[in-house]
A = this chain, B = another copy of it.
Amino acid sequence: MTTVQRPTLEAVARRAGVSRATVSRVVNGSTTVAEPIQEAVRLAVAELGYVPNLAARSLVTQRTDSVALVLPEEATRVFSDDQVFPSIIRGVAQELEAADKQLVLMLAGSPAGHARVERYTTGRHVDGAIFASLHGADPLPGKLARLGIPVVCSGRPLGDVGVPYVDVDHVGGVTRAVRHLLDSGRRRIATIAGPQDMIAGMERLTGYRETVAEAGLPERVAFGDFTRESGAAAMRRLLDAHPDLDAVFAASDLMAHAAMRTLREAGRRVPEDVAMIGFDDIETAAYTEPPLTTVRQPLLELGREAARQLLRMAAGEEVEVALVLPTELVVRASA
């Protein structure tokens, strides 16, 4: 391996006939350097192909110019077919790129992974951390916040951790979905709820419960974990317990997708016998049979906002504690 000796500030300074400090000023965009000197320095930089050594820089500035994005890698499923995380990643990446920060991706599934994330973030190897879709009441975001390390959660964290977050309007979206079912005459409306250790799962259930109660109807609930498999199983349980149901709100598109197949296998037609509404609006939703009516959440925007908030915090600015993005009912053929 022929590791070429890379030029340092010193080398550039010698070539340009100025001091290290002046080169540093030019490289970092200080305006207090005379134009001809700036020009000479820039020329030397170009000729030598100088690139600053970030390690040396962060050693003195105490910044790393990188941000951690922490995802819970629950089992295999996070990254299997779900588009939720990819969209968030992309949103975050876009904003960080604009700010010239690096994105350090950390999957924190296992306890070992979680410990690693804790070590890395508390060790201040990043300028801040974005946590996406926390399960349960993870103490890490709060801990980081107390250490003065900028943190933003994508998805409201459970418990009173006092950490700024961005989230979507789950309850509003679900309310609109269930009302849509009511408006089309459905009265025996069930739900396939998500995991109750996540705000997304809890609030989508709340939205269903409130709206159904408001209409004076009984609730019919089965639980899943947002995956297709769990959706199919929950649908079977619902059919057993409430064979007369005429509509289902599923807390994720994947569960809705699998539930529709289960319904078909049970001889029910969608939407004639049973209407189905999902949540997320993944691309697949437009291609299911029948196409799925669902609640769209602006995931890309969610990631972007989270990153923006974090960058603001890292810059020492104040940020709002909560930022809630709107959801939207996308009506297709399934309801």
Contact = CB atoms under 8 A, between A and B. Distances in A.
A35 to B, nearest CB: 25
Contact of A85 (B86, B102, B282): B86
A287 B316 contact: no
A97 B81 contact: no
Contacts of A261: 287, 289
21 contacts: A1-B148, A51-B124, A54-B55, A55-B55, A55-B56, A55-B58, A55-B64, A56-B59, A73-B93, A79-B89, A80-B87, A80-B283, A81-B283, A90-B107, A97-B113, A102-B120, A102-B125, A228-B283, A257-B287, A261-B287, A284-B284
A179 to B, nearest CB: 28
Contacts of A106: 93, 102-103
Contacts of A213: none
A73 B54 contact: no
A79 B73 contact: no
A83 interface: yes
A123 interface: yes
A30 interface: no
Interface of A: 1-4, 6, 51-56, 58-59, 62, 64, 66, 69, 73, 76, 78-81, 83, 85-87, 89-90, 93-94, 97, 100, 102-107, 113, 116, 119-120, 122-125, 147-148, 228, 257-258, 261, 282-284, 287-289, 316
Contacts of A85: 86
Nearest to A50: B123
A105 B103 contact: yes
Contact of A122 (B51, B66, B94, B147): B51
Q: Is the interface of A mostly helix, strand, loop or mixed?
A: mixed
B119 A51 contact: yes
A62 to B, nearest CB: 8
Nearest to A112: B97
B282 A81 contact: yes
A69 B80 CA distance: 18
Given A2-B148, A261-B287, A93 B120 contact: no
Interface centre among A97, A257, A258 (most CB of B within 10 A): A97
Given A257-B287, A289-B289, A102 B103 contact: no
Contact of A79 (B53, B66, B83): B83
Contacts of A51: 119, 122-124
The 7 closest A-B pairs by CB, nearest first: A81-B283, A51-B123, A79-B86, A289-B289, A55-B58, A55-B59, A79-B90
Contacts of A125: 54, 102
Contacts of A100: 116
B93 A105 contact: yes
Contacts of A52: 123
